[in-house]
Structure 1
Amino acid sequence: MEIVILAVVIAVVALGAISGLVVSSRKKKQLPPAPPSSPSVTAPPAEPHVGEEAETPRAEPRRTVEEVELPEAPAEAETAPVVEPEAAAPAAPAEPEIEVPEPTAGRLVRLRARLSRSQNSLGKGLLTLLSREHLDEDTWEEIEDTLLTADVGVAPTQELVERLRERVKVLGTRTPDELRGLLREELLALIGTDFDRSVHTEPGIGVNGEEKPGVVMVVGVNGTGKTTTTGKLARVLVADGKSVVLGAADTFRAAAADQLQTWGERVGARTVRGPEGGDPASIAFDAVKEGIAEKADVVLVDTAGRLHTKTGLMDELGKVKRVVEKHGSVDEVLLVLDATTGQNGLVQARVFAEVVDITGIVLTKLDGTAKGGIVVAVQRELGVPVKLVGLGEGADDLAPFEPEAFVDALIGD
């Protein structure tokens, strides 16, 4: 029994010794050494000690919030205050330079070479035929065909041939100079030298007794150069010392108002315009109203140039004229015709003349056709004179029509 008790005691003692060794080994166990520090790698923060390994906190004096001093901000370099740049105002568009148009006096004479290049075949052809030794019926028929080909027209051609026959018979012998003089006289008589070819732009008295500028309506079919002619006419008037207001009453053709305004800006003429597709009569009325307010010398009204076969639009042209006349009379109605269209231009002229009272004709592109006889034909058809002719694409290529210079260009020197 005692032996059993002793064995139990020894076992207990042995178990206690073993437990003590285990606890002692745990107490003596250390953490693995920290890896060597590297200047480029930051060591992780040490783990806090807990339990028996926790350190006793050191007694430190405590400070209130008021006693804690904040770190001073680093001194800023003294630099000039940064001023935000102001938003630059949009630059105003540069005003176009005002041009000084070429004087109109003798302009057709200066453009005579350009005219003679296209018209010389008519004059030379007639002189060659008239210079034949024997002027038989075949020759006179050739003379007649030459005139008809140049669009002189049937009736004027017959008149001219009859007069030439009589005068050649009386003259007898025919030297080149005599023939040239004879032909010059007859062509001048056919074109007419007694027409008043000036463009009437004198100010008048309006319906309310106020002074009214001269009013010029420009009409014609699209494609004849109507708007361009209106702009060139403004240059002609400015060159003669007149102030001009332009009325862009062609509201149906895209960019017509812009085109006219560009012409006006080049010579300092203001353009009155309205919305695209607006009422042409209203714009024409406003243009004359502005001309009266500005005491301008002339108001030029560019009208819609639709095909002459469209009756409604032609009636609208008559309406424009009636509305403008509420301010006072219209001084000129200029019909623009393309000289290259020949006899078709006469059809247009007749229809326009039925709607408005045409007072003058402007023939454009006269330098681009050999059919200068249209000058005679259209005057005879309408009973009104050709007042201006276009002889090129240049800004100052619109010239007052001078019969003498025109005939001289036809027959040459």
Structure 2
Amino acid sequence: MGLFDNLKSALKKTKDVLRTDVRDLLRSGEILDEAKLEEFYRGLITTDMGVAAATEVVETLRKEFGGRTVVPDKIWEVVRTQLKTILLGESGTGWDRANPIGPLNIAATGPTVILVSGVNGVGKTTSIAKLARLLHGSGRKVLLAAGDTFRAAAVEQLTMWSKRIGCDIVTKPPKSDPASVAFEGCDQAVARGADFAIIDTAGRLQTQQNLMSELQKIHRVIAKRIEGAPHESLLVLDATTGQNGLSQASKFSEAAGCTGIILTKLDGTAKGGVVIAIRQKMGIPVKYIGVGEQLDDLQVFSADDFVNALFDDV
């Protein structure tokens, strides 16, 4: 399948919710009354796009089409346009498809450092491998730093991925200071002329203050070794958590200065609309999405493709 077909497939559960809840509301020739608008609102909410976004969309429909005869194509076009505007944020521009690695902040000189964080079980280590594969496949030299030193399986898994991808990795003995691994990773990235250094961190709950403080320390150490680093601080979120992801995004952003999100398990949830809620409430863009379990199943996020796939055939 092509990238757009993969995205449509990943959003199937979310699309099914919309198809069930809203398709019959917008029959051509009927009047778009308050009852239909209220049902439409509830249908949007079930995707976890959030109250603010759903309210904004319904208010626009009420203003432009309320009390008038339904013309489905026109209504869906307005919905698509509004949601794309929310997802694009203040920039108003999307991803340049000529750039296969996506909208990353690239260092002016030296290695670009990417710090990756998230709660336990969101697919962080696998997401790092997928991102490394994407960057390596585009001809960039990538170095990984296995900063989850308290979980031997994480280091072993990342080491296995590095060998499979063909990129360097920095590891230290179990229970080493994670900040020292991050520092060594940056040091080796400079020494080896790497284009990217991706720093893994241990999974942690946003409520564990001592571990969030540790994440702040890692961020500071990276900044001391390479000026301007980390150039990206990516938070890995599990799409199946829906609105709970907002709390994670808020707390991790405070600790690690999150610049973007990798949204995983999009293919396993009916809550794909959370992408919209996070962008609107937190102002943090989703930069990559996981649409499957294979190493190549990481896509650069496109607001146009996401909205078009979400409402295709609704």
TM surpasses 0.5: yes
Q: In 1, distance between residues paired with 2:262 and 2:293?
A: 15
Q: Secondary structure at the match of 1:111?
A: helix
Identify the match of residue 204 of structure 1 among 108, 112, 115: 108
Please state if 1:179 is matched with 2:83: no
Aligned match of 2:22:
126
Q: Secondary structure at the match of 2:271?
A: coil
Q: Tell me the CA shift for residue 263 of structure 1.
A: 1.2
Identify the match of residue 334 of structure 1 among 230, 234, 240: 234
Q: In 1, distance between residues paired with 2:245 and 2:183?
A: 29
Aligned match of 1:149:
46
Amino acid at match of 1:181: E
- Equivalent pairs counted in the alignment come to 301
Q: Is the 8 A contact 1:108 1:399 kept in 2?
A: yes
TM-score (norm 1): 0.69
Q: Tell me the CA shift for residue 108 of structure 1.
A: 3.6
Q: In 1, distance between residues paired with 2:24 and 2:193?
A: 55
Bigger drift between 141-150 and 223-232 goes to 141-150
Aligned match of 1:280:
178
Query: Taking structure 1 as reference, are residues 256 and 347 closer, same or farther at Cα in structure 2, changes over 3 Å only?
Result: same
Q: In 2, distance between residues paired with 1:296 and 1:203?
A: 12
Q: Is the 8 A contact 2:33 2:66 kept in 1?
A: no
Q: Secondary structure at the match of 1:303?
A: coil
Q: Tell me the CA shift for residue 278 of structure 1.
A: 0.8
Aligned match of 1:112:
7
Q: Is the 8 A contact 1:203 1:297 kept in 2?
A: no
Q: What per-residue deviation string (whole Å, max 9, x for no partner) do you get for residues 163-222 of structure 1?
A: 11112249x4433333332332232223237256544253434xxxxxx20000001001
Identify the match of residue 369 of structure 1 among 269, 274, 277: 269
Aligned match of 1:68:
none
Query: Taking structure 1 as reference, are residues 139 and 169 closer, same or farther at Cα in structure 2, changes over 3 Å only?
Result: closer
Q: What per-residue deviation string (whole Å, max 9, x for no partner) do you get for residues 61-93 of structure 1?
A: xxxxxxxxxxxxxxxxxxxxxxxxxxxxxxxxx
Q: Is the 8 A contact 2:88 2:94 kept in 1?
A: no
Please state if 1:397 is matched with 2:293: no
Q: Is the 8 A contact 2:107 2:231 kept in 1?
A: no
Q: In 1, distance between residues paired with 2:34 and 2:256?
A: 43
Q: In 2, distance between residues paired with 1:224 and 1:163?
A: 35
Q: Secondary structure at the match of 2:261?
A: strand
Bigger drift between 268-277 and 173-182 goes to 173-182
Please state if 1:164 is matched with 2:64: no
Q: In 2, distance between residues paired with 1:377 and 1:176?
A: 25
Q: In 1, distance between residues paired with 2:64 and 2:255?
A: 41
Counting only pairs closer than 5 Å after superposition, residues 13-162 of structure 1 correspond to structure 2 as 108-124=3-19, 125-131=21-27, 133-162=30-59
Q: In 1, distance between residues paired with 2:275 and 2:239?
A: 8
Query: Taking structure 1 as reference, are residues 199 and 183 closer, same or farther at Cα in structure 2, changes over 3 Å only?
Result: closer
Amino acid at match of 1:119: T
Q: Is the 8 A contact 1:119 1:409 kept in 2?
A: no
Aligned match of 1:305:
203
Amino acid at match of 1:231: A
Bigger drift between 375-384 and 118-127 goes to 118-127
Query: Taking structure 1 as reference, are residues 137 and 173 closer, same or farther at Cα in structure 2, changes over 3 Å only?
Result: closer
Unaligned stretches of 5+ residues in structure 2: 96-101
Unaligned stretches of 5+ residues in structure 1: 1-105, 206-211
Q: Is the 8 A contact 1:122 1:146 kept in 2?
A: yes
Larger radius of gyration: 1
Query: Taking structure 1 as reference, are residues 264 and 199 closer, same or farther at Cα in structure 2, changes over 3 Å only?
Result: farther
Query: Taking structure 1 as reference, are residues 123 and 189 closer, same or farther at Cα in structure 2, changes over 3 Å only?
Result: farther
Q: Secondary structure at the match of 1:326?
A: helix
Q: Which has the higher contact order (CA 8 A, sep 6+)?
A: 2
Aligned match of 2:190:
292
Q: In 1, distance between residues paired with 2:237 and 2:4?
A: 22
Q: Is the 8 A contact 1:201 1:215 kept in 2?
A: no
TM-score (norm 2): 0.90
Q: What per-residue deviation string (whole Å, max 9, x for no partner) do you get for residues 114-146 of structure 1?
A: 124222124433343233713332222211111
Q: In 2, distance between residues paired with 1:110 and 1:139?
A: 31
Identify the match of residue 384 of structure 1 among 265, 284, 296: 284
Please state if 1:347 is matched with 2:247: yes
Amino acid at match of 1:202: I
Please state if 1:236 is matched with 2:134: yes
